[in-house]
Amino acid sequence: MPTIQVYLWEGRTDEQIKEIIAGITDVFVKQGSKPQTVNIIIHDIPKNRWGKEGKPASEL
């Protein structure tokens, strides 16, 4: 049972998140997993809580 965690900067619409979930699920189904066994956890992270290049991403 694959569980996939995806970390993204927040700001995507519910429709975009649905598309991401469907696309990731499709990849695992093509690899032989049953759709009902694929779990995906989306972590929407604010840019000011994501560090990049020594700074919060909100400052880049």
In angstroms, the CA 27 to CA 36 distance is 13
In angstroms, the CA 54 to CA 23 distance is 32
Residue 56 among the catalytic residues: no
Torsions phi, psi for 51 (to 5 deg): -90, 140
Active-site residue numbers?
2
